[in-house]
Amino acid sequence: MLAKLQAPLALVAHDAGAANHLLAWLAAGDLGPGPVVPCMEGPARTLWERSGQPRALAGLDEILSEAASLVSGTGWASDLEHEARRLARERRTPTIAVIDHWTSYRERFVRYGELVLPDEIWVTDEHAAALAREQLPGVPLRVQPNRYLEAQVAEVRALQGAPAPGARVLYVLEPIRDAWGELPAPGELAALDYFVASLAALDLDAATPIRLRPHPSDPAGKYDAWLARHAHLDVALDSHASLAAGLAWADTVAGCQTYAMVVALAAGRRVVSTIPPWAPPCVLPHPEIIRLSALTTQVSL
C-alpha cells in the first residue's frame, strides 16, 4: 500500500496524467482494500470508463460526503480538482494531490487568487520531488512507485516485434498553454511546423512515416487542416488503439514536453523535443531527450 489511507477514499481527476496514475495504483492494489468513491470528468472520465472499473462515478458533494480521505489530480484544464480540495478542507477531510509533471507546481493549487494546498503531495520520481520541495516548502511529500510507467513499458515490450526497416516516427501531441510570443498559430502547431522543417537534422526525410497521436484533451478534427497542408509528407493520425501500441510501432518519438515522451524514453525509443528555439526550453528533466533546437539553426517557417 502506498500510504496508510483512510477509507472510503475519494478519487478526483480531470486531466489524463493523474488519472493514469490513480488507475494504475488502483489496479495494483496500492490504494488499499477499502472502497473508493470516484469523481472523474473530461479525459479522466474517458480513461475511467475504458478501464472497466466497477465503481460508479458520482459528483463531488456525493463522494466527499462519504469519503474519509481524498486523492486528487492537479490538472490545468478544469477547476474540478481544486474545488474538491477546497470542499475537503471545509470538511476537514485529509487531502493528497498527485503531481504528474514537472511544471508550475505552486500555480496548480491556485484558482481565482485562492491558494488551496493539500495535506500531502505525491510524485513519482526524484526530479519532481526536488521541484516540489523547492516550490512548495513545508508540504509533506512522498515519492510513490510509477505503476503507470511500469505497465506502459511492459505493454510496449509485449507488443513490439522484430525491428522494422527504416525510421518510423510517432509524434505525441499536447496543447501548449504558455504564450510563445505573437504566433500566427497555437504553439503545438508551430512546433509541428518546426519539426517537419527540420527533419534532415534527425536524419529523416519526406518519405519517413510520421503518425500524429492527439492528446486526450484534443478535440476531434484539430489537426485536419494541418494534415491537409502537409499532404506531400507521409503523415497521418495515429490509428493505434493505445499509446503503448503506437510506441511499439515507432523507433523515434517526438513531441514538445508531454508525459508520453517519458514513457517512450523508458521503452527505449529515441525521443526528441520539438520545442522551437524561440520558445521556452523543454521542461522534461531527462538528459537523454534530444533537443531539436540544439541541432538546428532557426528555421524560417
Which residue has 534532415 as its cell numbers?
200
pLDDT digits (tens, 9 = 90+) for 191-229: 999 999 999 999 999 999 999 999 988 999 999 999 999
What pLDDT score does 137 carry?
96
| Contact (CB, 8 A) for 166 and 247 | no
Residue 182 pLDDT > 70: no
Q: Which helix or strand (DSSP H or E) is residue 179 part of?
A: none
Q: What is the pLDDT of residue 60?
A: 95
Residue 300 is predicted with a pLDDT of 44
| Lowest-pLDDT range of 21-25, 89-93, 261-265, 279-283 | 279-283
How far apart are the C-alpha atoms of 161 and 249, rounded to whole Å?
9
pLDDT, tens digit (0-9, with 9 covering 90-100), for 139-153 = 999 999 999 999 999
When the pLDDT of each residue in the chain is averaged and rounded to a whole number, the result is: 92
pLDDT, residue 1, reads 47
What distance lies between CA 138 and its chain's CA centroid?
A: 26
Region of residue 59 (left: phi > 0; alpha: psi -120 to 50; beta: else): beta
- The confidence score (pLDDT) of residue 298 equals 47
pLDDT for 159 equals: 94
Lowest mean pLDDT among 62-76, 161-175, 215-229: 161-175
Q: What percent of the chain has pLDDT over 90?
A: 83
Helix (H), strand (E) at residue 170:
strand 169-172
- Per the CB < 8 A criterion, the answer to whether 244 and 156 are in contact is yes
pLDDT at site 177: 72
Instruction: Determine the Cα–Cα distance for residues 266 and 212; give it in Å rounded to an integer.
Output: 20
Name the pLDDT band for 185 (thresholds 50, 70, 90). Answer: confident
pLDDT at 3 > cutoff 70? no
C-alpha cell at 81: 480538482
Q: What is the mean pLDDT of residues 5-33?
A: 93
Q: pLDDT grade, residue 4 (50/70/90)?
A: low
For residue 290, what is its C-alpha cell? 534530444
Residues 108, 46, 273, 166: what is their CA dihedral angle, to the nearest 10 degrees? 170
Strand partners, 253: 170, 271
Chain centroid offset of residue 241 CA: 17
Burial 101-125 (b: 16+ CB within 10 A, else e): bbebbeebbebeeeebbbbbbbbbe
Q: Which residue has the higher pLDDT, 176 or 273?
A: 273
pLDDT for 2 equals 55
pLDDT at residue number 183:
67
Q: How many CB atoms lie within 10 A of CB 20?
A: 28
Tell me the mean pLDDT in the region 170-188: 81
Q: Does the pLDDT at position 301 exceed 50?
A: no
Distance between CA atoms of residues 172 and 192, nearest Å: 10
**Residue 81 CB-density burial (10 A; 0-12 exposed, 13-18 middle, 19+ buried):** buried
Cβ–Cβ under 8 Å, residues 43 and 15: yes
Q: Which residues contact 257 (CB under 8 A, 6 or more apart)?
A: 103, 174, 273, 275, 282, 283, 284
Domains contained in the chain, CATH given: 9-145 (3.40.50.2000), 151-294 (3.40.50)
Residues in the chain: 301
